[in-house]
Amino acid sequence: MVTDLLHGFPQGQHIPGDGVTAAVLTPFMAQGAWRQPTGPAVQPAQARPSAEPSNGTPLLRIRDLKVSFDTGTHLVPVLHGVDLELARGETLGVVGESGCGKSVTWMAVMQLLGSRALIEGEISLDGRNIANLPQKAMTAIRGRRIAMIFQDPSSSLNPVKTVGKQLMESVTLHRGLKGDAARAEAIRLLDRVHIPSAAQRMRSWPHELSGGMNQRVMIAMALAGQPELLVADEPTTALDVTIQAQILDLLQELQRDTGMGLVVISHDLGVIAQVCDRVMVMYAGRVVEKANAAELFKHARHPYTQGLIGALPDLEGPIRRLEAIPGTVPAPTEMPAGCSFAPRCSHRMTRCQHEQPVLMAAQGHHFTACWKPYS
């Protein structure tokens, strides 16, 4: 069985997402008023010189991306016009609760949503629109130009093949190497992601490796095609804190060495603050705020972003009760008429219940979709 074009999924195997397609929603268990927190528990790393893509052609440009799923009787919209740009060498963080559309956005970019998904809008890779390419043409892009790693390596690796065989398949598929050349490259990749005794580990089965080691194998497989863009979907969720830090350091190191663009999808604001240049906050299939990472954590303007930050403990400030966002993310079939966050927002106005706000520049490169942004 040939592994999938990205990172070892067997053909036809279910690929995990962020919960939109199944409407799996994560409730917040308590209620709290929205206010500017006394200080987030995480602080963004030192910002790089540029918070926005360069003036040249971006590596990836998405315009008005919409996704709907055909239930057999009607279409259910799950993405409602996503816009973004990503420059080479830039790290973009995508945050939000389960069911906000984070994973669906990037699976749409990769055309991994299946035949029941209707994808509209423009997806330009290095100036070329790839939104409606046939599958054969996408084969040359998946893994080779855009690679993706998912949050659970144990479900991504084939349990009946050694990690070396699976990695060699990826090398053969994307680079055309065979035999000893493929084996040598596979060993080099394992060594590149800091797996000790790489040649010996080629003979290991996935169940013989820890979660952190399997995630390193997944990263090695993603690098097999020498991609220009790596999408990491919750890459540290199943790992303990120490291993999380090692994986994040590895991703940053690989990005510095290769110059690839990096997208980190996470619900963990600490992860986003540590590695990202810019942050895009999603809610119910829409982008509700995006800004430079340092700016967003210091001056979040959308009440949803404020709620996410307010739910974090402040390790340095005074002891305070954590703020939780009441309610849950609405199911795609139960979207409110106006702002999708209005039912959970303590600052909603009459206008919010009837009009959907659009993403507008609040200040400089800070954009928010709210009729009453924090100031």
* Under 8 Å between Cβ of 369 and 361: no
Q: What is the pLDDT of residue 179?
A: 94
Q: Which tens digits make up the pLDDT trace of 222-258?
A: 999 999 999 999 888 778 888 888 888 999 999 999 9
Q: Which tens digits make up the pLDDT trace of 28-58?
A: 223 333 333 334 444 444 444 333 444 568 9
Q: What is the pLDDT of residue 19?
A: 44
Q: What is the pLDDT of residue 50?
A: 37
CATH number, span 60-368: 3.40.50.300
Q: What is the pLDDT of residue 55?
A: 52
Q: What is the pLDDT of residue 294?
A: 92
Domain definitions of the chain by residue range: 60-368
Query: For the chain, which residues score pLDDT lower than 70?
Result: 1-56, 373-375
